[in-house]
Structure 1
Amino acid sequence: MRPRDIGLAVAVMAVWGVNFVMIEVGLDHFPPLLFNALRFTAAAFPAVLFAGRPQVPWRWIVAVGLILGVTKFSLLFAGMAAGMPAGLSSLVLQSQAVFTMVFAVLLLRERPRPVQIAGLVVAVAGVGLVATRMGAAIGAFLLIVGAAACWGLSNIATRKASPPDTLRFMVWVSAVASGPLIVLSLLIDGPSADLAAVRSITWDAVAAVLYVALISTLAGFAVWGNLLKRYGASTVAPFSMLVPFFGMASAAVFLGERIHAIDVAGGVLVVGGILLGLVRTPAPRLVRVDA
């Protein structure tokens, strides 16, 4: 990769890492479902009016909108609101790579290589190690794991959709997610809680919504999608392992979260396991023997 594009890839990872801090800021003001609804509404409108027609079948846009937008991020926001630390959430969410491989085996009939299975075992051990210190917050931890599972399933749907324009795809996905999230927020958070949050809105809350909607979702995925098209997933995907490092570091700096030794050890196992699964082993060479 060109140095400029390496810098862009690292910058996107920093944006996505800091995103967890901004989610925490938003959740300090909004109920989880309302914050999620505002996030996808801001990402969709007015961009959807200028995005042009979708370039993939509607079934994939609806599927990703419901799995990724409605379910995955609602579980993530609910888990963080229930007490899961922002930095640790950024780490546990990377187990999506494990779920992606599992769903690829179950739904696409892909055959994992032995090194991928070994990487899966190592990454799962890392997630399990982090779980040992959660104590009373184990419910919040499981919500984040559920979010990672939904992300893995949405990765399969996105792979099947193969959108030629990632930015346009995310705008339409956001539009699909917006309506159901508004309805769910009114039903679960309640109109009174939603109205109270909107009436007492602060500039910090507005900044959190705009950051996760415009910078993290639209700008982040636009740059990421362009890099994937130019260099391929095998070259670009490993950069995503930087997200938990930026997430945990920014949470420590801006939110005062402590980084425990177990978190570091678990992070090494999760990231190491995922990277191990990306290793390509050379095919055995055939030796010709002349009679």
Structure 2
Amino acid sequence: MAPRHIALAVLVTAVWGFNFVVIHVGLETFPPLLLTVLRFVVAALPVLVVRPPKVPLRRMLAIGLTWFLGQFVFIFIAMTKGMPPGLASLTLQAQAFFTILIAALVLRERPSARQLTGVMVAFCGLALIGFSVGGDMTLLGLGLTMCAALSWGVGNVLMRGTGKVDMLPMVVWLSLVPPLPAFALSLVFEGWPAITSAFAHADLLAYGTVLYLAVPTTLIGFGIWGHLLNLYPAGTVAPFSLLVPLFGTLSAALVLGERFPPLRFAGMGLIVCGLLILALPLGRWLRRVRKA
């Protein structure tokens, strides 16, 4: 990847990492399905001035239902069912493995030996985190987070098949997909009294979380991410999301005081090693050093 594209990928992961702290704060006021509705209603507002992308409606719906609705409904609910913010940012990165697997099966993007090695190392890191279930993390929260990761991975591969499209209009129009089904789910599972109560108690901080989730995280973050997926194979871009847990756990520790046992720190270290193997041409550099 070009250095400027690596820098963009890192910037997006920083925004997405802090996003988990913002979600935690937003969920203190808004129930998870309602927060999903508000996020994408705000993100979809530019449709008034942005032309729709030239992408088939069926694919637009499929991406919107997986990349956006499925991913965020599952992760928002997970964070109300015993998944701490920093740990959510870690386990959600299983999407990189799902992306590589699905891309290999559907798009015939055969993973290289280096990619397979990096995936295995990072997977061992996630496994260590999984072994730390208990205390501040529930099995239900972990399972819902893995469902969110699967939805993200499917969405990544679907995005890969859209071809060269302008990503900002794409993200804006994709944001039209989640609000109605999410609101219907909110009415059924959260109820009208919970919805009205949330609005009655919402303050500027609560609405600020919605704005952060809609603009930097959704419009800017997914716009850049989708652009990178159009430039590079899914298996090259997706592993950069493994940086999200580093920013997520750091911000959760600094802002919320979240702490992790040694086993989870070991898992984080393996995830970083896996990313380095996946993203950096270490073998090429070693050969150059030997020749020098």
TM range (shorter): 0.7 to 0.9
Are the equivalent residues in 2 in contact too, given 1:163–1:169 (CA < 8 A)?
no
Is 1:77–2:90 an aligned residue pair?
A: no
Deviation of residue 99 (structure 1)? Answer: 0.4
Deviation of residue 91 (structure 1)? Answer: 1.2
Q: Percent identity?
A: 45
- 1:26 paired residue number: 26
- 1:58 paired residue number: 57
Are the equivalent residues in 1 in contact too, given 2:100–2:235 (CA < 8 A)?
no
- 1:133 paired residue number: 132
**Residue identity opposite 2:217 in structure 1:** S
Matches of residues 1-291 of structure 1 in structure 2 within 5 Å?
9-45=9-45, 47-135=46-134, 137-225=138-226, 239-278=240-279
Alignment partner of 1:55: what SS?
A: coil
TM-score by length of 1: 0.87
Which runs of 4 or more aligned residues in structure 1 lie more than 3 Å from their structure 2 counterparts after TM superposition?
1-11, 222-241, 277-283
| CA RMSD in angstroms, aligned pairs only | 2.7
Are the equivalent residues in 2 in contact too, given 1:234–1:278 (CA < 8 A)?
no
Q: Cα gap change, 1:82/1:69 in structure 2, threshold over 3 Å: closer, same or farther? A: same
Are the equivalent residues in 2 in contact too, given 1:55–1:164 (CA < 8 A)?
yes
Q: Cα gap change, 1:67/1:237 in structure 2, threshold over 3 Å: closer, same or farther? A: closer
Find the aligned partners of 1:5 and 1:273 in 2 and give their Cα distance.
Answer: 19
Q: Cα gap change, 1:70/1:228 in structure 2, threshold over 3 Å: closer, same or farther? A: closer
Q: Which runs of 5+ in 1 are unaligned?
A: 284-291
**Residue identity opposite 1:109 in structure 2:** R
Deviation of residue 279 (structure 1)? Answer: 5.8
Alignment partner of 1:139: what SS?
A: helix
* 1:121-158 CA-partner distances (Å, limit 9, x unpaired): 22222211101111261110111111111111111111
Deviation of residue 56 (structure 1)? Answer: 1.3
* 1:57-87 CA-partner distances (Å, limit 9, x unpaired): 1111100111122111111111111121111
Find the aligned partners of 1:250 and 1:166 in 2 and give their Cα distance.
Answer: 28
Find the aligned partners of 1:251 and 1:282 in 2 and give their Cα distance.
Answer: 35
Alignment partner of 1:161: what SS?
A: coil
Deviation of residue 54 (structure 1)? Answer: 2.1
* 1:205-240 CA-partner distances (Å, limit 9, x unpaired): 101100001121112233445566788878866653
TM-score by length of 2: 0.86
Alignment partner of 1:179: what SS?
A: helix
Are the equivalent residues in 2 in contact too, given 1:88–1:248 (CA < 8 A)?
yes
| Higher Rg of the two aligned structures | 1
Q: Cα gap change, 1:273/1:235 in structure 2, threshold over 3 Å: closer, same or farther? A: closer
Q: Cα gap change, 1:279/1:254 in structure 2, threshold over 3 Å: closer, same or farther? A: closer
**Residue identity opposite 1:21 in structure 2:** V
Deviation of residue 119 (structure 1)? Answer: 2.7
Give aligned pairs, total: 282
Are the equivalent residues in 2 in contact too, given 1:95–1:270 (CA < 8 A)?
no
Deviation of residue 104 (structure 1)? Answer: 1.6
For structure 1, which segment, 234-243 or 161-170, has the greater mean C-alpha deviation from structure 2 after superposition? Answer: 234-243
Find the aligned partners of 2:274 and 2:100 in 1 and give their Cα distance.
Answer: 12
Alignment partner of 1:175: what SS?
A: coil
Are the equivalent residues in 1 in contact too, given 2:40–2:178 (CA < 8 A)?
yes
Q: Cα gap change, 1:216/1:28 in structure 2, threshold over 3 Å: closer, same or farther? A: same
Are the equivalent residues in 1 in contact too, given 2:100–2:234 (CA < 8 A)?
no
Deviation of residue 262 (structure 1)? Answer: 1.5
Deviation of residue 244 (structure 1)? Answer: 1.4
